[in-house]
Amino acid sequence: MSLWQDLEKLKACTWVELSHPLNNQSPYWGGIPNGSVELCRTVFDYDEEMLSCRIHTYKFPGQFGTHVDFPCHFTPDHLSSQAFGGKQMAMPLAVIDLTPKIAANGPDTAIDVEDILAWESQHGRIPQGAFVALRTDWYKRWPDNDALNNFDEEGGEHCPGWSIPALEFLYEQRGIAMNGHETFDTDASYLAVEADDLAAERWVLDHGHLQVEVMCNLDKVPATGAIIFVMWPRIEDATGMPVRAVAVFEE
């Protein structure tokens, strides 16, 4: 059976980029040492006698820009990049909009199970194998590192995010395939302070799941009905890698 007609249908749909563009000034987690990013360094140029062409090298941490985290990111001997193949790069996309709750309660806000159930009462049950993205509009702060971290005067972070009960519900009760968000970290900042750990992120990865961080443009895709493609290079033993993520939907 030919899929060519399906491809033409997909190409006629709306495509939205969900990953940030990257350059040498792009922000990344503050714990990564300075000098860890060097993009587009020319090592072979057009004036070479052997062949007139340009070749660049790229140096970056795995957790750079819009990126996927693999389970071994937090815990040794857990699954790394080669355990996940091409079939796991295409999923139904469900987008949960947390912005009204943030507007009411401020940035120290977490999604909980009640928020998910309220979303389902409006949009229907989240399908098994879905990618669930948490919309906070935090991507609009990119590429201002201080704004993304939302530091207070003492250097504390104040960012919205996930709670462990919400993630447990989505993975265990709905059987989702992956979660994603626009912030640097999975956890709502105030919950990370309470736990003295990135406990929600640790829960996701220690249970063998994948997540995508630092997403963008979730306000430009519908709550349901889209397909997300998340693509990463085939580098073995990676704890994480920048990704190209796109959503496709019919208007």
Q: What pLDDT shows up at residue 1?
A: 77
**Sheet containing 210-213: order of strands:** 14-17, 244-249, 226-231, 90-97, 131-135, 178-181, 210-213, 67-69, 240-242
Q: Which residues pair with 67 in a beta bridge?
A: 213, 242
pLDDT digits 0-9 by tens, 174-193 = 999 999 999 999 999 999 99
Helix (H) / strand (E) containing 68: strand 67-69
Q: How far apart are the first and last CA of the chain?
A: 27
To the nearest 5 percent, what fractions of the chain are helix, strand and coil?
30, 25, 45
What percentage of the chain reaches a pLDDT higher than 90?
A: 97
Question: In this structure, what DSSP letter does residue 128 have?
Answer: T
pLDDT digits 0-9 by tens, 130-165 = 999 999 999 999 999 999 999 999 999 999 999 999
**Structure confidence at residue 124 as a pLDDT band (50, 70, 90):** very high
- What are the tokens at 29? 């987690």
Q: Which residue has the tokens 């977490």?
A: 110
**Nearest C-alpha neighbor of 198 from the set 183, 211, 187, 212:** 187
**How much is the average pLDDT of 79-102?**
96
Where would I find the H helices in the chain? 4-11, 99-105, 113-123, 145-149, 164-168, 189-195, 199-206
Is the pLDDT at 56 greater than 90? The verdict is yes
Is the pLDDT at 86 greater than 80? The verdict is yes
> pTM for this structure?
0.96
What does residue 57 show for φ and ψ, rounded to 5 degrees? -110, 155
**Structure confidence at residue 41 as a pLDDT band (50, 70, 90):** very high
**How much is the average pLDDT of 67-87?**
95
Query: Cα–Cα distance between 41 and 182 in angstroms, integer?
Result: 28
Q: What mean pLDDT is reported for the chain?
A: 97
